[in-house]
Amino acid sequence: MNLMNHLIVSSLQFFPKSWMKSFAMRYIAGEKLEDAVRVVKTLNGKNMAGTMDVLGEDIYTKEESLMAVKAGEEVLHSIQENHLNANLSIKLTQFGLKIDEEFCYANVQNLLGIARRHKNFVRIDMEDSSVTRATLNLYERLRSDGFENVGVVIQAYLRRSEKDMKALIERKANVRLVKGIYVDPESVAFKDREEIRKNYLRLLKMLLQARCYVGIATHDDPLIRGAYQYIREMSLQKSDYEFQMLYGVRMGLRDQIIAQGHRMRIYIPFGRHWYSYSIRRFKENPQIARYVLQALFSRNR
């Protein structure tokens, strides 16, 4: 079965881009900012907040990074102008982390300044393990420089995450906790699904006990059940945490969580790099590629 999934991934690049787009746009808001604004307005109307993400990462020129900064600025201004319940999520390699860390820091600092003036928030997303330390260092520096409107992401599949979490707890960090989707070697990452789940719940318990604000980002039923249990045992208020899910994924489960009175935030990617984003995600999680192929053929019968 795994071999079949990998064969599907390797063949996806030969499918017409129009076929891929018809599927990808179930999970991506569109190519333009106005597409994402429209989606956020709809979600806000259903009692959900949004996190807007301009697609793109691994940028290697300053010109491209500055374009990404401008796009981020436009998102923040648009949230303010349209009175949206939403914030901005960014990846540091899009803002120059692999070019020059000082350049990257200045770019993120600029965005945080705009967000602060708008009383908004920016989430620094996490990428593969090669930039974990640099990402956390930049986050720590921003906090030391007085920025409170910034959060970070921790990936439960990484072996180092418990140690990183302890440092973040001291900061009372706002953390989005995810399982993680990147392909890293076993020396740095857990590979067994149950082992990753156990680590996720261990990290979640640490955060909730420390009364850090947590974005419980998962579509995994056992993890959601575990989160419910912790919330009950600790008598947490609905304002102490939120659940987070991807746009277009498990909408029935999403609606159940909302119906039970929990906060819900939807991660909304958009932008012209939708194709490379989709192919990269399929390579990172080949099982999704199998679903893609099934959906494509069912739509074209």
167: tokens are: 């440092």
Residues 9-13 have a mean pLDDT of: 64
Output the pLDDT for position 272: 85
CA neighbor of 111 nearest in space, from 63, 147, 157: 147
Average pLDDT, the chain: 90
Residues 162-168 have a mean pLDDT of: 96
Quick one: angle between helices 286-299 and 17-24, nearest 10? 100
Output the pLDDT for position 119: 98
Output the pLDDT for position 182: 85
Which are the catalytic amino acids?
Answer: 125, 176
53: tokens are: 């993400």
Residue 256: partners with Cβ closer than 8 Å, 6 or more residues away: none
Q: Could you state, in order of their start, the residue ranges of all structural domains in the chain?
A: 1-28+274-301, 47-270
For 123-158, what is each residue's pLDDT tens digit? 999 999 999 999 999 999 999 999 999 999 999 999
pTM score of the predicted model? 0.90
More confident residue, 27 or 161: 161
The CATH number of 47-270 is which of 3.20.20.220, 3.30.1490.20, 3.40.50.300, 1.10.1060.10? 3.20.20.220
